[in-house]
Structure 1
Amino acid sequence: MGRSLLWRPSRPKVRRKPNIVSGASIDVFKVVLVIASDFIAEHSSIKINFQQPKTISDTENMPEYIKAVDIRGGTGERDALFINAETPKPSATEGQAIVKIKAFGINRMDIVQRRGFYPLPPQAPKTLGVEFSGIIESFGPGDHGAFKEGDEVFGLAYGGAYAEYIAVSTRMLLHKPASIDFTTCAGIPEAWITATQALHLVLGFTKGKSILWHAGASGVSVAGIQLSRIAGASEVYATAGSQDKLDFITSKLGATAAFNYKTQDWAEEIKKATGGKGVDYIVDFVGGNYFQQNQNVAARDGRIVLLGTLSGAKVPNADISQILFKRLRIEGSTLRSRDEVYQGELRDRLEQYLPDFESGKLKIFVDEVFPWEQIQEAHKHMEDAKNLGKIICTIS
């Protein structure tokens, strides 16, 4: 009976990767090409395709790609949102850090920008998102203060937060408190900095005065109502569109009273609550539809800051007489268009609140958390305006 033998080579074959050629090896390539050409002339049925190998410099210059949320067609409704795996990775310039993002916040401006109606500042990338949390991966040139690679941070940017990585000024970063997770921290910067700006820089809030926050369950007003209380407001009022929001505003945020703009004449109710005086300060995101009522409910020498125009920017048949007779001051304000020096001062104020966040004196309310693969659903949740606090997306 015969025996079959299984032969094993003493050394296994190794499939070697071709060496990246240098300039000297190009001559060898040319010789091979000439020999191959002669061979093809004799055997015309054989086709050989030659591709010159990449050089070291070619390989070094290849772009690095990351995933980021993009918009098909540049602008559109939420069904145009998708995760683009071929987004060039940002590079850090002077004074910037590259942060690997763990979570980012959804804001009303993101909806407006997605639809093509938000005037972007010149330094903003096309990628949506202005607030985030994550870990510092690297730095560009320049001084970066107390930050180092590996630090857990959160911060504010001109754009680009809906992505795996962001290039952002270290001036706009804060160290993440150990007791607050990445998801919660991602919902702090935009809302709390905007509320601080409106309350202190624009309105010049004075202790013992009363204030009204419209859209009382929005991220900015959730922050603003709490900041008004600790700043010594005599009364804090708010408006909202559902009973659960009214209950949230009074029981969780500590507002004096909240009124349903859908079922109540909120201006008349506030005048009754204040004995006919009205309120000293008003923070408004609604715009056109509230223009007349804001004047009606404002106290003499009252101040009104306009942070948005959700109901539209036109006011037909407006009566402006109360602006004159009550000596009212109405001012519009945005945050994203401000320069880094202005935003940096607000960042420093926010840093002072960190002990209050950790102690629970100031509360961060996160309404819903979505994996970023569900970005369309996250935008729908914002558009439905049912949230009590922030909407956050996480990146796994």
Structure 2
Amino acid sequence: MSAGRAVNLPTADGGWHEVELAEPRAWAEHPGGFSSRTAFAAAHVVADPRAENVPGAPAVLDWDATLAFRAHLFRHGLGVAEAMDTAQRNMGLDWATTQELVRRSAALAREHGARIASGAGTDHLPGPAPDLDTVIRAYVEQVAVVESAGSQVIVMASRHLAALARHAEDYLSVYARVLEQTSRPVVLHWLGEVFDPQLAGYWGSADVPTATATFLELVTEHRDRIDGVKVSLLSAEHERGLRAALPDGVRLYTGDDFNYPELIEGDGVHHSDALLGAFAAIAPAASAALAALDDGDVEAYRRAMAPTLPLSRHLFSAPTFYYKTGIAFLAWLNGHQRGFTMVGGLQSARSVPHLAQVFALANDARLLTDPELAAARMRHLLATSGLDA
């Protein structure tokens, strides 16, 4: 194993490649937020390494580290999208812990004068929903919890609704009833099946143009209750078409972790705002890029964003729904948490060669804030995995 300024990393084909540690970049903080774009980072949660965070067990969080990570995002000018799929909703984060997470994070956001929006869904139901009214009541219950904490609501896609709905009208009626209960404009989240296979055919059709027409019908009808939409289909072409068709005043928050630099930059007529899990991993670079946009310096924006894209595309590579593992791993490398453990034991969801490439790409993007610490932790992981040759 190499020492000093180089790290020898395993590759998926059984080989090795040596990575020279890049000099850390002194990324400036930007706690005041941004004027040209609205940006949220969907944050992960830090598991308590002393607890039984095994598959199927209730989540136990390291609250200090979880909240400190959110403060880190706030200091870089990003809002926090709380209790979303990045925080392992439907993949280990139970409803009791979710409620506490939303309350604590919303209080922290108030302290920092920062924005927060939190997911409301139906995942607290103990089993399949018997009917659509049950889905509506479940949504309304979670909306009330989020709003009572002082957070904006993100209406998440519902597995229960996807299992029950037979056509587009079922979606339209459920969402209309839920939106009636909100006290301030919400964000609607369309999560694609690459992130959750149980959401296939959402909005009543597996045909994306048909589903999009239903989605636009809903947004247009209820535009006064909708701040924006977050679309996670990983298609830049679809996003550009959708954002051009949205009613005036409704934002499109990109959820495209493969194409976000071009979508946020825009085409000179329309641009996307951001609500991205990738921003939890690249917060300092995203902050620098957005600050450059505020200054009208598009070239500086591109220079900050471009090196982050290979890292993001790797984090979100198939199976995409395991991207949370790479985000937690990078947080560990950067000293935001004591150990590489996750709720539900999800740290096992990516291979060691995959994680080694996360290290290499973060190094390329100069997103290892303390390269020596990151290298020491990477070497330790390799050694405990039997890859210390």
TM-score, normalised with respect to structure 2 = 0.29
Which structure would you say has the larger Rg?
1
More helix by share: 2
> So what's the TM-score if we normalise by structure 1?
0.28
More strand by share: 1
